[in-house]
Structure 1
Amino acid sequence: MHMKTLPFTFTLMILTALLFLSCSKRDDDDSLSESGPIIHAVGKINDKAIYWKNSSVTILGKGPGASEAVGMTMNGADIYVVGYEINANGKYVARYWKNGSAVDLTDGSNDARANSIVIAGTDVYIAGQEMVSGGTTYIAKYWKNGVSVSLTDAGENAISSDIAVLGNDVYVIGERRQLNWLNPVTCYWKNGQRTDLSDQNSAADNQAIYIIGNDVYTMWSTIYNKQGQIQTRYSKNFSQPTLIQDGTSSSRGTSLIVQNNNVYIGGSGVSATGNTMSAKYWKNGTPVTLSSDDSQALSIVLLNNEVYTAGYQNSTATYWHKGNYKTLPSSSGSSLIRKIIVKDN
């Protein structure tokens, strides 16, 4: 899952209710009750970082500045959430919340963000980026138990989007750009050594990494033409990547999970009308359309071989399951889900 420094932009359009219902319907059952699976989700409502547990809403961003929860993991009964909050001086502070209590990763003197978290044994790894002191260049880095490890220097802008650990190896995926932010290239670092996954013939968009067993899966999307259309590729153990070719002109992957050698990618693609982007996921490259409205799936998980995706629909935090959708409590204003975890009750 990748938190961009600039928001995603989609064409907004109102579709007919009939078209929308042909893709998914509202789920009015009791799946958010105590009898169903437990939904854990993080994201934001308006400009505040939020954690949802079923229908319960916890505001994580308690300061006066904007905040957002971007990633999440669980370790036993402990819930770890990562993101950022803007301090009183207008600086982005990279932080994580453990069971709702905030821990700052940076001191607030330079803009920084935390984008992804993984726990390996007793070690907590968090991927993100921080601006150099007194400058305008972002350094891609990760924190291990709160201690930062820089992956790049001030010679280029870079961000780290996602992180995974296999044994003693730390994998980080992200992107690097020129100092003027042009020509973004998708890359990954293994124990600090960089390898590019794309080139300057396209523009890096989103990245994700997932480890299962001893296999490392990567996913990245790139903007491939002047019209802003997007292609997505995925790879197992950094072999020749597979391009999603679903017969449409634009397929944006944002999240990744693998089960039983099946690769699931959440994201968005061209809607049935071709006039807007709608939430989708792909199973081994085959698309499943979740919505006909302005929407995107930003996170994907599986529970008992069933797919759950989450993101937003019509500016409202939404998750999809078995062809149905459900919105999470958002009071008023816009909201979205960046990460979802689903557990058996």
Structure 2
Amino acid sequence: MKTRLYSYLKYTGAVLFSFLLLFACSKSEVPREEPVPLEPTENGQLVLIASATDIDENEEVTFTVMVDGKPIEADVYVNNEKINNNKHVFAKVGDYEVMAKKNNYKDSDKAVVEVYKIDIYVSGIQNTTANDASVTQAMLWKNGKLLYELTDGTSFAATVGIALHNDDVYVVGTEARGYTRVAKYWKNNTAHILTDGSNSATVADIAVDYRGDIYVIGTDSNPHKPVLWRNKVPHTVAATNDGRYARAIACSGNDIYIVGNSSSYANTPSVAMLWENSQEIHLTNGVKAGRALSVTVENEDVYVLGDEKSKGLNGQGGQEIGRYWKNGEVTLLDEDPTTFIGLVGGDIAVQDGVVYVCGVWNDGTTTHSVPVVWKNGKRLYKLTEGTSNSAAVAIAVGGKDVYAAGYESNSKGKPVVKVWKNDKLLYALTEGDRRALPSGIAVKRSK
């Protein structure tokens, strides 16, 4: 009896355990219900988001429509015309109103896309024939096409700088008259003479202030000292400036900024200099040869591009180490004394405190120096692969894009003038049958 009762209890316990185990397993196997995503509420407010609202002609904008923080398919209208999808290329200048619509939802607020026109001007020279010794003509290109032949090709001409003011473009240079060079500038296609040709003149740059006053900077040959023409009237730059070379000029408000260097760069160590309204400021100390080559001003901050030798006067070899100064504080482009930084013909541009510099660079890994753009002192990109002679000569900023003018020699050894937009070739300005070189670039962004 005791044995049978024990067996019964044992059997009953096993059944009960199995039941509990089955119940537990069954409970755990009940699938969890996933939360169902909530659809955007009908009659909700559409919100239109544009990938950009400040663009240039022929740029594309992508539109996203949201409701309650979630994307939704909706129709997008540009100036009350429905577009095919959520992307649109704006081909013409103007202000465009964009809105999203969908049945049973509230229309989005209007977004305004502002579309600007970019005009790119490049100054330079081109030989009249395939012979590199032939007469050079002063040229001006606009948006990839020849705008003006500034000289007729009967005497040697050169251009050195370009400036814009309102709807006018100014180019400065020289033209031969007998055995001398006459300084002049062109306003659009009209020449204005600065010197009479009794002595050769050297000019370096041009600037136009907010009033439309025209400033040209150059250097007298005997003795070497800067000369500033304001509306064709010559002025001395400073009271004691013999043995000085002027290289560039910029205007800001009522202030004039001129840069250059003392003495001859090839002889004794020269000093990079800035003249601010005739006040001479030394940017280098003269222990190593230095130059100031270009200048620009933004929001009362003065930026000067230049270089300094990596070794002193008695040091053999050495390279020019490129740099720029912001209000006298220096930023080096490359500290490696074995790396060549060529800034003759290089340029500086600033937008919203971001500094762009163009020039040439060579670390010995390419046959030729490579045109390079730096951003805030760091190499940003190169413009060619260095397989032929090439250089970046001038730089400008238009909107969010950086434009550089330079040249690259073709298989015939002829330099071809080119324009790059950021790191991509935008177009070539010359065909390569004759030697051609750029001297400046200016970009106008307008509506």
Structure 1 residues 56-65 or 103-112, which shifts more? Answer: 56-65
Q: CA RMSD in A?
A: 2.7
Task: Give yes or no for the alignment of 1:249 onto 2:249.
Answer: no
Question: Which runs of 5 or more residues in structure 2 are unaligned?
Answer: 1-57, 60-90, 93-116, 128-135, 410-414
Q: Could you tell me whether the CA contact under 8 Å between 1:161 and 1:172 is conserved in 2?
A: yes
Change (3 A) 1:295 1:130: same
Taking the TM superposition and a 5 Å limit, the aligned residue runs for 1:234-245 are: 234-238=324-328, 240-245=329-334
Q: Following TM superposition, by how much is the alpha carbon of 1:322 offset from its aligned partner in structure 2, in angstroms?
A: 3.5
Change (3 A) 1:327 1:187: same
Q: Distance in 2 between matches of 1:181 and 1:106?
A: 29
Taking the TM superposition and a 5 Å limit, the aligned residue runs for 1:130-149 are: 130-132=220-222, 137-149=223-235
Q: Following TM superposition, by how much is the alpha carbon of 1:305 offset from its aligned partner in structure 2, in angstroms?
A: 0.8
Task: Give yes or no for the alignment of 1:306 onto 2:401.
Answer: yes
Q: Could you tell me whether the CA contact under 8 Å between 2:371 and 2:383 is conserved in 1?
A: yes
Q: Following TM superposition, by how much is the alpha carbon of 1:210 offset from its aligned partner in structure 2, in angstroms?
A: 0.5
Task: Give yes or no for the alignment of 1:338 onto 2:435.
Answer: no
Q: 2:352 aligns with which of 252, 256, 260?
A: 260
Question: Which runs of 5 or more residues in structure 1 are unaligned?
Answer: 1-29
Taking the TM superposition and a 5 Å limit, the aligned residue runs for 1:1-345 are: 37-46=118-127, 47-53=136-142, 54-62=144-152, 64-88=154-178, 90-120=179-209, 121-132=211-222, 137-151=223-237, 156-177=242-263, 182-205=268-291, 207-225=293-311, 226-227=316-317, 229-238=319-328, 240-245=329-334, 249-253=339-343, 254-270=346-362, 273-287=365-379, 288-293=381-386, 294-314=389-409, 315-325=415-425, 326-330=427-431, 332-344=433-445
Q: Could you tell me whether the CA contact under 8 Å between 1:64 and 1:87 is conserved in 2?
A: no
Letter in 2 for 1:281: V
Change (3 A) 1:206 1:214: closer
Change (3 A) 1:158 1:37: same
Sequence identity (%): 28
Name which one, 1 or 2, has greater alpha-carbon Rg: 2
Change (3 A) 1:317 1:206: farther
Q: Following TM superposition, by how much is the alpha carbon of 1:43 offset from its aligned partner in structure 2, in angstroms?
A: 0.9
Q: Distance in 2 between matches of 1:122 and 1:80?
A: 11
Q: Following TM superposition, by how much is the alpha carbon of 1:153 offset from its aligned partner in structure 2, in angstroms?
A: 7.6
TM-score, reference length from structure 2: 0.63
Q: Distance in 2 between matches of 1:269 and 1:331?
A: 24
Q: Following TM superposition, by how much is the alpha carbon of 1:130 offset from its aligned partner in structure 2, in angstroms?
A: 2.3
SS at match of 1:61: coil
TM-score, reference length from structure 1: 0.80
Q: Deviations over 1:307-343 (max 9, x none)?
A: 1111111121111123322211256321111111233
Structure 1 residues 278-287 or 149-158, which shifts more? Answer: 149-158
Structure 1 residues 314-323 or 173-182, which shifts more? Answer: 173-182
Q: Following TM superposition, by how much is the alpha carbon of 1:291 offset from its aligned partner in structure 2, in angstroms?
A: 1.0
Change (3 A) 1:206 1:45: farther
SS at match of 1:221: strand
Q: Could you tell me whether the CA contact under 8 Å between 2:207 and 2:216 is conserved in 1?
A: yes
Q: Could you tell me whether the CA contact under 8 Å between 1:278 and 1:296 is conserved in 2?
A: yes
Q: By percentage of residues, which structure has more helix?
A: 2
Change (3 A) 1:244 1:68: same
- Count of residues in correspondence between the two structures: 308
